[in-house]
């Protein structure tokens, strides 16, 4: 059974969340407290997730979030707020919150999906942390082996000893009297070699990483760890090099998993936050417009209530798949923003082209022909979309673009749904 800690000072809200969770298809054990102090006292390793109010009487919600996330093995946190403030949302997600829910929009379906997604992301994050701990242990053990081992006189900057692996793989050779000190082949220049030795000598340790060619011509990622040691008054740099290609690929795969939505397989909200900042900065540098499309499946709660959650999950998979396969727009990046909301980013796209793209997406989803018996808008599953586009400025906040698209989405819904609305100039 999933164990949740609810930190909420408003009693009616606590009662409302308790009722919503009691209606969820999964069983939850709920621990309720009214202050941050009591919440932190109740936090232990048995807690799987925290529902955290942003506005608490004793400690600010964002500060509580930091305290929780600073723990060695923190539970996932879903932030709850009554504020329509995109900046607070971004700060919460940057601080490590798995999700951010506005109280007035929460129903049992949204709350359950948010918790379920947060718990799954937390599991994947723990896998990444466990992998990193195992790799750290591996580093310590590898420093005691003879894998690509070489020793450098830190004063003279010359190799005094090296093993066969260091010679064969990294091109490290010991110094020969009467010759100039040779730079190991793995280092691309004397300056790079000197920087490596200087860092080890001044900091006590150094780490470098390169792509190197193996004997068979394949590329491998080489990591060299070095530590400064003193032996009978002489300082040496002891270096261990090894192939970390598999580790890098594993970390990349695990990181990709944490940035993908567990239900639909498309990129998730965390990936969106990073992509928005990345594209905002690159578009500002090239002075090209960046478009944002905020999409919402119309009357999705009614769809779930009528056909059931399994059908709702299949609906979201179908919609996300259809949107993601729009190869006509090769620059389009699609993310699941939360619940039945999706967001798309289109670089180098003005508002007119973005609206055309949104109309194509709307027609594509409607063309799936997914029956929606409970929709007052159409007998098929449809989407409403808000579109915003602007040439970014590095002094501006990318959250403004998101807020503008969200406002346009609200108008599209207000005007009857199954339509596209563009943001007002901002």
pLDDT at 143 over 50: no
- Tell me the per-residue pLDDT of 341-381, one tens digit each, with 9 for 90 and over: 999 999 999 999 999 999 999 999 999 999 999 999 999 99
Highest mean pLDDT, choosing among 135-149, 230-244, 328-342, 401-415: 401-415
Q: What is the pLDDT of residue 121?
A: 84
Q: What is the pLDDT of residue 142?
A: 40
Residue 129 tokens, joined: 């942390």
Report DSSP state, residue 293: E
pLDDT at 173 over 80: no
Q: What is the pLDDT of residue 304?
A: 94
pLDDT at 83 over 80: no
Q: What is the pLDDT of residue 135?
A: 58
Low-confidence winner among 142-146, 157-161, 302-306 (lowest mean pLDDT) = 142-146
Cβ-count burial 223-260 (b if 16+ within 10 Å, e if not): bbbbebeeeeeeebbbbbbbbbbebeeeeeebeebbbb
Residue 305 tokens, joined: 């209530």
Cβ burial of 360 (10 Å; 0-12, 13-18, 19+) is middle
pLDDT at 74 over 80: yes
* Of 231 and 144, the one with more pLDDT: 231
Look at the block and give the residue holding tokens 């740099």: 237
Report DSSP state, residue 85: -
- Cβ–Cβ < 8 Å for 377, 300: no
Q: What is the pLDDT of residue 139?
A: 45
Q: What is the pLDDT of residue 288?
A: 96
Residue 169 C-beta-side C-alpha neighbours within 13 Å = 23
pLDDT at 119 over 90: no
Cβ burial of 22 (10 Å; 0-12, 13-18, 19+) is exposed
Low-confidence winner among 45-49, 137-141, 293-297 (lowest mean pLDDT) = 137-141
Q: What is the pLDDT of residue 343?
A: 97
Instruction: Locate all alpha helices (DSSP H) within 230-350, ordered by sequence.
Output: 245-258, 269-286, 300-307, 309-324
Q: What whole-number percentage of the chain has pLDDT above 70? A: 94
User: What's the CA gap between 391 and 265, in Å, rounded?
Assistant: 30
Q: Assign 163 a pLDDT band (cuts: 50, 70, 90).
A: confident
* Of 387 and 101, the one with more pLDDT: 387
User: What's the CA gap between 243 and 409, in Å, rounded?
Assistant: 50
Q: What is the pLDDT of residue 61?
A: 87
pLDDT at 272 over 60: yes
Distances (CA, A) of 312 to 71, 177, 370: 36, 76, 11
| Whole-number average pLDDT of the chain | 87
**Residues identified as active-site:** 340
Q: What whole-number percentage of the chain has pLDDT above 90? A: 45
User: What's the CA gap between 10 and 31, in Å, rounded?
Assistant: 15
- Tell me the per-residue pLDDT of 211-250, one tens digit each, with 9 for 90 and over: 776 656 677 888 888 899 887 788 888 888 888 888 877 8
Residue among 34, 31, 6, 12 at smallest CA distance from 111 = 6
User: What's the CA gap between 17 and 111, in Å, rounded?
Assistant: 8
Distances (CA, A) of 351 to 117, 226, 292, 322, 410: 32, 53, 9, 22, 17
Residue 407 tokens, joined: 């406002």
User: What's the CA gap between 320 and 336, in Å, rounded?
Assistant: 8
Those residues whose C-beta lies under 8 Å from the C-beta of residue 406, and which sit 6 or more positions away, are: 86, 294, 386
Q: What is the mean pLDDT of residues 287-294?
A: 97
Cα 384–390–391 angle (5° rounding)?
155
User: What's the CA gap between 119 and 68, in Å, rounded?
Assistant: 15
Those residues whose C-beta lies under 8 Å from the C-beta of residue 23, and which sit 6 or more positions away, are: 108
């Amino acid at each position: 059974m999933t164990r949740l800690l609810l930190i909420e000072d408003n009693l009616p809200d606590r009662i409302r969340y308790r009722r919503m969770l009691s209606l969820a298809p999964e069983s939850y054990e709920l621990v309720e407290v009214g202050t941050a102090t009591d919440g932190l006292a109740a936090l232990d390793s048995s807690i799987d997730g925290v529902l955290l109010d942003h506005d608490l009487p004793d400690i600010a919600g964002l500060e509580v979030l930091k305290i929780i996330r600073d723990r060695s093995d923190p539970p996932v946190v879903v932030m709850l707020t009554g504020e329509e403030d995109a900046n607070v949302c971004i700060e919460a997600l940057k601080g490590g919150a798995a999700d951010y829910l506005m109280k007035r929009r929460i129903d049992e379906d949204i709350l359950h999906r948010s918790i379920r997604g947060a718990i799954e992301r937390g599991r994947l994050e723990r896998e990444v942390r466990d992998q990193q701990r195992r790799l750290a242990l591996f580093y310590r053990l590898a420093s005691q082996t003879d894998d690509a081992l070489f020793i450098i006189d830190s004063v003279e900057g010359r190799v005094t000893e090296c093993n066969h692996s260091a010679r064969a793989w990294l091109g490290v050779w010991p110094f020969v009297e009467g010759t100039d000190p040779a730079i190991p082949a793995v280092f691309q220049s004397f300056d790079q070699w000197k920087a490596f030795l200087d860092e080890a000598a001044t900091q006590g340790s150094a780490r470098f990483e390169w792509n190197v060619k193996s004997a068979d011509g394949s590329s491998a990622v080489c990591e060299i760890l070095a530590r400064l040691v003193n032996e009978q008054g002489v300082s040496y740099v002891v270096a261990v090099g090894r192939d970390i290609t598999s580790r890098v690929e594993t970390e990349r795969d695990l990181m990709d998993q944490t940035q993908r939505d567990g239900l639909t397989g498309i990129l998730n909200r965390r990936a969106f936050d990073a992509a928005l900042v990345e594209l905002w900065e690159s578009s500002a540098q090239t002075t090209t417009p960046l478009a944002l499309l905020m999409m919402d499946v119309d009357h999705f709660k009614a769809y779930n209530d009528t056909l059931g959650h399994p059908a709702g999950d299949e609906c979201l998979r179908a919609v996300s798949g259809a949107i993601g396969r729009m190869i006509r727009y090769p620059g389009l990046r699609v993310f699941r923003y939360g619940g039945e909301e999706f967001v798309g980013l289109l670089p180098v796209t003005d508002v007119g082209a973005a609206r055309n793209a949104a109309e194509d997406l709307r027609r594509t989803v409607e063309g799936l022909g997914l029956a929606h018996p409970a929709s007052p808008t159409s007998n098929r599953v449809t989407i409403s979309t808000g579109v915003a586009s602007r040439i970014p400025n590095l002094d501006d906040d990318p959250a403004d673009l998101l807020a503008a698209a969200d406002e346009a989405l609200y108008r599209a819904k207000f005007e009857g749904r199954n339509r596209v609305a563009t943001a007002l100039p901002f």
